[in-house]
Amino acid sequence: MIRLGTAVGAGGFRELQNRLSQRQSLKTTTKVDPKVVLASQVLQLSQPDLVQSIDRELAENPALERIDEPETPITHEDVMRAVAPAELRQKANDYEALRGLPSDQNTDWIDLTPSNDSLWDHLRAQLEPEVPDHLQDLLEYLIGSVNDRGYLTCTVEDAALDCKTSLENAEEVLKRLQACEPAGVGATSLRECLLLQLRDATGDAERMARFMLKNCWEDLVARNAEAIQRKYKADPDLVEHAFEVILTLNPFPGEGYALHTHTSASDRTSPAMPDIQFTLDEAGWVIEVLGPSPLSLRVSRTYLRRQHQLDTMRKPPKDEKRHVDEYVGRATFFKEALEQRRRLLGEMGRYLVLKQGGFISTGDYQFLKSLTRSKLARDLNVHESTISRATNGKFCQLPNGEIIAFEIFFKPALRVQKMIEEILTYENPSNPLSDERIREMLAEKGVHVARRTVNKYRSRTKMLSSRQRRSA
């Protein structure tokens, strides 16, 4: 801090004051380019947010227009109808086309109407006529406690307590609920769900499957058929057929109605929308930047024409010129920001194909190479913060259809972690692999890590040790 004392003379004070005023004027004149700010804001937007941002800008800026595209592409028939309509007239000997013409029989359009019943509507339609009026509130409570997968999310005791009724009434209504279609609905666990689907078991294999679900759950989960055969002296073929029956059961009976579930927009979880799509065809890699294109927008021709007229005037109206210049510049900057975003994402996609082609083409994490944002920024000649904004919250789609986050490319530890998970997926439950054996298997695939590294990654993903996996 500078102190101005009595020792400073008048000339020195004026000189100091001039330096301070120059420094202050320098500070006030240093401004961030609004184009840079706008480009940064557009770059970090996810695809859904970008769509909203474009819609908002179109609503607020009269100088920005959307180029309307035809809702349906022009077909060959449209061209023929305009050029040679006689060619489309029905020939008398065209029997196949005549058979395809509508008949005089009246169509029942109700039969063509798709059903929009949700799982809960379906359950109400089955139960409301059967349940007494004084238990309708209890019925509604239980139906509302069934999630979209068909499982009951409350206990029968909670239902009785909240509805101020007896436990016997709650158990009776629950019993009726669990007898509804789809089979298995209203269960509180996977085991109960599968048992409900076999409540009317008739054949030997179905009865054996029901017996195994009730008495051999641990061996069933471990797919230890030999233990079940040995323990109950069961026929091997019968046990195998019972396994096949269980595999045909539906673990999520409510999912068939998920598409007809009526929820508000705020309650729905939108799937991840890829910003870049990688496709591999005979000609090589195709890298497509998805989402809104700047080519679908343009600066209003009316505003551009008026801006040119105002620029040629000797004394243009100040307010009008300020208005036109502001919105034309704003629309131009917005389009440029969209173009920069699209161009950078395209360069990133080409770079990732070059450096991570093995992983992108296969989706196998063992081909994932070490890469940092700083290296990507240096190679693309941009700032590291620009790469951070460009990758944060964005996704890409691999040729196998899998949608992954950009974050995956910058997590070198993820490669080892995923490979460990894959190894443990295919291990023998009765003879789990030790951390040392996992280390050796990774070394065979060209990944050399210490045993303690395997232990660290296994603990990070909450995977049990070999001894605990054996006892589990």
The tokens for 357 are 């082609």
| pLDDT higher than threshold 80 for residue 148 | no
Q: Could you give the residue ranges of the DSSP H alpha helices within 222-317? A: 225-232, 236-247, 301-312
For residue 57, count other CB atoms closer than 10 A to its CB: 17
Q: Do residues 165 and 153 touch, judged by C-beta distance below 8 A?
A: no
Give the model's pLDDT for residue 95.
45
Mean pLDDT of the 384-407 span: 85
What 462-467 contacts at long range (C-beta under 8 Å, 24+ apart), as own/partner pairs, is 463/420, 463/421, 463/424, 465/435, 466/432, 466/433, 466/434, 466/435, 467/432
Mean pLDDT of the 166-174 span: 90
For residue range 90-105, what is the model confidence (pLDDT) as tens digits?
Answer: 554 454 444 444 444 4
| pLDDT higher than threshold 70 for residue 327 | yes
For residue range 224-254, what is the model confidence (pLDDT) as tens digits?
Answer: 888 888 888 888 888 888 888 888 888 888 8
The tokens for 471 are 């006892």
CA distances from residue 128 to 54, 149, 161, 180, 258 in whole angstroms, order as listed: 48, 21, 21, 12, 22
Q: Are strands 395-397 and 276-281 parallel, antiparallel or unpaired?
A: parallel
- What order of strands is seen across the sheet that includes strand 276-281? 284-289, 276-281, 395-397, 403-405
R_g of the chain computed on alpha carbons: 34
Q: Can you tell me the distance from the alpha carbon of 452 to that of 436, in angstroms, rounded to the nearest whole number?
A: 9
Helix (H) or strand (E) holding 266: none
Q: Can you tell me the distance from the alpha carbon of 359 to that of 367, in angstroms, rounded to the nearest whole number?
A: 5
Q: Which residue has the higher pLDDT, 105 or 169?
A: 169
For residue range 116-139, what is the model confidence (pLDDT) as tens digits?
Answer: 557 787 888 888 888 888 888 888
Give the model's pLDDT for residue 21.
55
CATH of segment(s) 412-471 = 1.10.10.60
Report the sign of the C-alpha dihedral through residues 300, 304, 306, 307, in that order: positive
Going by C-alpha positions, the residue among 356, 438, 437 that lies closest to residue 396 is 356
Average pLDDT across the chain, whole number: 76
Give the model's pLDDT for residue 472.
47
For residue 349, count other CB atoms closer than 10 A to its CB: 21
Length of the chain: 472
| pLDDT higher than threshold 50 for residue 393 | yes
Q: Could you give the residue ranges of the DSSP H alpha helices within 248-317? A: 301-312
Domain ranges of the chain: 119-247, 276-410, 412-471
The tokens for 4 are 């101005």
CA distances from residue 403 to 236, 309, 398, 416 in whole angstroms, order as listed: 42, 50, 6, 20
